[in-house]
């Protein structure tokens, strides 16, 4: 559910409701915007739950889009639109496992494990060579990916530009077509949202 | 112990860049999801229309009762006329497709036309534009000045249209708006190709607007990448549109009219060998039926009965006097 006291979430839901309204009105640009924003995220969401089966991940995402669009007039802004899509995707994955013979092979997610926070902290430290750490690192990659995907607006992309591509605040400002101060402020909010999202996840 | 900010930075760095989905998955899922979007929005529009129509009907009934007046049956605006057909072409008002020859339908808003692989059709839109569909193309006439292309290749010639109106070609990938021109739009899944033969076309894609000029080709690939290339107005790539061009009635008209029309249809500059030859072309009056020929074949057939001849030199179509023929009017 949306936390009305969180202005970022309230703004996000407002924007998402407007987007859903435009799509229902037949706005091609709005549909394209939604697809471009959600497709890579949902693909990663499904792929993480269906490891080693990219075709199944594609089918699940396709099914998710079709079901979500069919039910779009029932979206009331109780959560961010991406969260709403994820719930439909999660159900589609559960159906997939049911059809393919129970929960055998289902992925155990890091957020379901005890002491997840200490694992994350230890993995944020310099890399270790132990094989177990390699497996956990893969899971951390997935959980960071999922967290970045769940952030509103350009937050995930801005954090990647900053920490992976090493762009300066000024360069990020140019890419986003905003001022340097606004970019600095966006990065601060993005870091805060990431920290909150990952804390909420574990 | 690291600070919260350090943990954010270290986690993102250690996790690395997010994985991008494969390109073919994007295109495939987009096509299916877009079809779901089309179906959903047409159902939504239908429902809204029924609600509005219901409300409007009640209002009209009430007014009619008050005024003791019976309203006439509303006629939907005709958006286009069929100008020329070749091969297999079908038409649908809902989801039931019928051969065009049997349909005798009025081309009103919401009507869909599709061509099979061997089919071609030319329409004259209400605004005067010529719209031509290549084989394997589907088009929906949405509203005056707007059409939707789910897939295939179309050609638009808006030369004959009154100034001030603009045609919008809506696709899942981008929207093309003409600014007095001849152009082609081809849509395949999530990819689009725009070719501008004459004039200027505005292309809206992903919140950005691009301009395509005469002789330019703009391609948007399935991932939204944009590339530009050149295409000459007389390139053989335009021949499919020339072949289905609706022939104007030339019976009793000067040969010069046909010559100008063919030059434009084939994307070539027009040159007369001399002012005398040009005068001759204006003086010669054409007779006969050339409706089912391509522009160049029609011109050659007509000029064969005169003392004029046509010659193609690169991007120019030259009209010359036949050897040993008098060139005076």
Is the predicted pLDDT of residue B255 greater than 50, yes or no? yes
In a domain, B153, yes or no: yes
Q: What ipTM score was computed for the predicted complex, to two decimals?
A: 0.77
Rg of chain A over Cα atoms, rounded to whole angstroms, equals 18
pLDDT of A11 reads 67
Closest residue in A to B20 (Cα) is A40
CB B95 within 8 A of CB B114: no
Mark whether B108 and B195 lie in a shared domain: yes
Give the closest of A65, A140, A156 to B33, CB-based.
Answer: A65
Mean pLDDT of chain B: 82
Residues of A14-35 as b/e, b for ≥16 C-beta within 10 angstroms? eebeebbebbbebbbbbbbbbb
Which residues of A are less than 8 Å from B146 in CB distance? none
The range of the structural domain enclosing residue B142 comes to 80-239
Which residues of chain B does A191 touch, with a Cβ-Cβ cutoff of 8 Å? 5, 8
B7 vs A120: CB contact, 8 Å cut-off?
yes
Query: Is A177 part of the contact surface with chain B (CB cutoff 8 Å)?
Result: no
Same domain, B153 and B290: no
CA B125 to chain A, closest CA, distance in angstroms equals: 23
Rounded Cα distance between B328 and B164, Å, is 42
* Residue A114 clears pLDDT 50, i.e. is over it: no
Give how far A27 is from chain B: nearest CA, Å.
9
How close is the nearest chain B Cα to the Cα of A92, in Å? 15
For chain B, the residue count is 329
Instruction: Look at phi and psi of residue A116 and say left if phi exceeds 0, alpha if psi is from -120 to 50, else beta.
Output: alpha
Domain boundary among B59, B74, B89: B74
pLDDT tens for A123-146 read 454 444 444 556 677 777 888 888
Are both B42 and B139 inside the same structural domain? no
Q: Please identify, among B239, B261, B291, the residue that sits at the C-terminal boundary of a domain.
A: B239
Assess whether pLDDT exceeds 90 at residue A106: no
If one compares A161 and B224, the residue with the highest pLDDT of the two is A161
| A21 contact B CB<8A | no
Same domain, yes or no: B69 and B209: no
Which of these, A150, A121, A128, A130, lies nearest to A48 by C-alpha position?
Answer: A150
Same domain, B177 and B256: no
Q: Which residues of B touch A144 (CB under 8 A)?
A: 11-12, 14-15
User: Does residue B177 sit in the same domain as residue B230?
Assistant: yes
Q: Are the beta carbons of B25 and A40 separated by less than 8 Å?
A: no
Q: Please, what is the average pLDDT of chain A?
A: 79
Chain B contact present for A24, CB below 8 A: yes
Residues B262 and B146 both lie in one domain: no
> Which of B37, B42, B173 has the CB atom closest to A23's CB atom?
B37
Tell me if A140 and B11 make a contact (CB, 8 A cut-off).
Answer: yes
Do residue B9 and residue A125 have CB atoms under 8 angstroms apart?
A: no
A79-83, B23-27, B142-146, B163-167: which range is least confident on average?
Answer: B163-167
**Residue A40 touches partner B, C-beta closer than 8 Å:** yes
Hey, what are A92's tokens?
Answer: 């589609």
pLDDT band at B171 (very low <50, low <70, confident <90, very high): confident
Distance CA A139, CA B154 (A): 49
pLDDT above 70: residue A113: no
Residues B34 and B126 both lie in one domain: no
Domain count, chain B: 3
Nearest alpha carbon to residue A24 among B171, B41, B48: B41
pLDDT at A112 over 50: no
In a domain, B62, yes or no: yes
Q: What predicted TM-score, i.e. pTM, was given to this entire model?
A: 0.49
Q: Considering only alpha carbons, which residue of chain B is nearest residue A198?
A: B8
Instruction: Specify whether the CB–CB gap between B133 and B113 falls below 8 A.
Output: yes
Structure tokens at B139: 């088009």
Nearest residue, CB atoms, A70 vs list B2, B9, B40: B40
Q: Are residues B34 and B87 in the same domain?
A: no
Assigned domain for B259 exists = yes
**Tokens representing B71?**
């309203």
Question: Does B193 lie in the same domain as B59?
Answer: no
Span A1-107 CATH architecture: Orthogonal Bundle (1.10)
Report if residue B216 sits inside a domain.
Answer: yes
**Burial classification of residue B168, based on how many CB atoms lie within 10 Å of its CB (0-12 exposed, 13-18 middle, 19 or more buried):** middle
* Structural domain contains residue B9: no
pLDDT band at A66 (very low <50, low <70, confident <90, very high): very high
Contact (CB<8Å) A29/B207:
yes
Residue B260 falls inside a structural domain: yes
Domain segments of chain A: what residues? 1-107
Instruction: Calculate how close chain A gets to B1, using CA atoms only, in Å.
Output: 9
Q: Specify the CATH number for the domain of residue B128.
A: 2.60.120.1440
Q: Hey, which residues 130-159 in chain A have their CB within 8 Å of chain B? A: 137, 140-141, 144-145, 148-149, 156, 159
Taking CB atoms and an 8 Å limit, are B15 and A140 in contact across chains?
yes
Same domain, B231 and B213: yes
Contacts of A22 in chain B (CB under 8 A): none
C-alpha A59/C-alpha A185 separation (Å) is 39
Q: Is residue B67 predicted with pLDDT exceeding 60?
A: no
């Amino acid at each position: 559910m949306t936390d009305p006291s969180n202005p970022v979430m309230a703004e996000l839901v407002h924007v998402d409701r407007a987007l859903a309204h435009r799509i229902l009105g037949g706005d091609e640009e709005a549909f394209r915007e939604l697809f471009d924003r959600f497709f890579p995220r949902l693909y990663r969401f499904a792929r993480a739950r269906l490891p080693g089966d990219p075709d199944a991940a594609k089918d699940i995402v396709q099914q998710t889009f079709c079901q979500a669009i069919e039910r779009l007039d029932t979206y009331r802004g109780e959560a961010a639109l991406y969260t709403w899509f994820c719930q439909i995707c999660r159900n589609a994955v559960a159906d997939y496992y049911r059809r393919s013979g129970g929960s055998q092979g289902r992925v155990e997610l890091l957020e379901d494990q005890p002491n997840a926070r200490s694992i994350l902290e230890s993995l944020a430290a310099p890399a270790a060579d132990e094989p177990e750490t390699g497996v956990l690192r893969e899971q951390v990659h997935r959980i960071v990916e999922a967290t970045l995907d769940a952030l509103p607006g350009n937050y995930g992309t801005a954090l990647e530009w900053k920490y992976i591509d090493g762009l300066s605040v000024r360069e990020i400002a140019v890419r986003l077509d905003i001022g340097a101060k606004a970019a600095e402020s966006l990065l601060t909010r993005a870091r805060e949202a990431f920290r909150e999202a990952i804390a909420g996840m574990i | 112990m690291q600070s919260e900010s350090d943990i954010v930075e270290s986690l993102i760095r250690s996790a690395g860049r997010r994985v991008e989905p494969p390109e073919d998955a994007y295109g495939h899922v987009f096509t299916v999801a877009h079809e779901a979007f089309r179906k959903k929005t047409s159902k939504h529009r239908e429902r809204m229309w029924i609600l509005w129509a219901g409300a409007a009907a009640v209002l009209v009934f009430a007014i009619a009762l008050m005024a003791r007046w019976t309203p006439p049956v509303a006629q939907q605006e005709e958006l286009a006329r069929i100008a020329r057909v070749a091969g297999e072409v079908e038409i649908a008002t809902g989801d039931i497709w019928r051969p065009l020859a049997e349909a005798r339908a009025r081309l009103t808003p919401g009507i869909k036309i599709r061509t099979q692989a061997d089919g071609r059709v030319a329409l004259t839109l209400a605004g005067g534009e010529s719209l031509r569909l290549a084989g394997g193309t589907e088009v929906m006439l949405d509203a005056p000045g707007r059409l939707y292309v789910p897939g295939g290749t179309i050609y638009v010639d808006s030369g004959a249209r009154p100034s001030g109106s603009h045609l919008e070609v809506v696709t899942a990938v981008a929207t093309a708006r003409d600014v007095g021109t001849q152009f082609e739009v081809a849509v395949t899944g999530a990819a689009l190709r725009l070719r501008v033969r004459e004039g200027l076309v505005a292309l809206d894609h992903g919140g950005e607007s691009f301009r395509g000029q005469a002789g330019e080709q703009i391609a948007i690939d399935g991932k939204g990448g944009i590339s530009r290339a050149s295409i000459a107005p007389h390139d053989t790539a335009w021949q499919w549109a020339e072949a289905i061009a609706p022939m104007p009635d030339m019976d009793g008209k000067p040969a010069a009219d046909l010559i100008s029309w063919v030059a434009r249809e084939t994307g070539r500059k027009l040159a007369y060998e001399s002012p005398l030859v040009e005068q001759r072309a204006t003086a010669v009056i054409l007779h006969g039926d050339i409706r089912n020929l391509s522009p160049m074949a029609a011109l050659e057939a007509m000029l064969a009965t005169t003392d004029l001849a046509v010659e193609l030199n690169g991007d120019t179509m030259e009209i010359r006097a036949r050897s040993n023929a008098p060139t005076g009017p």
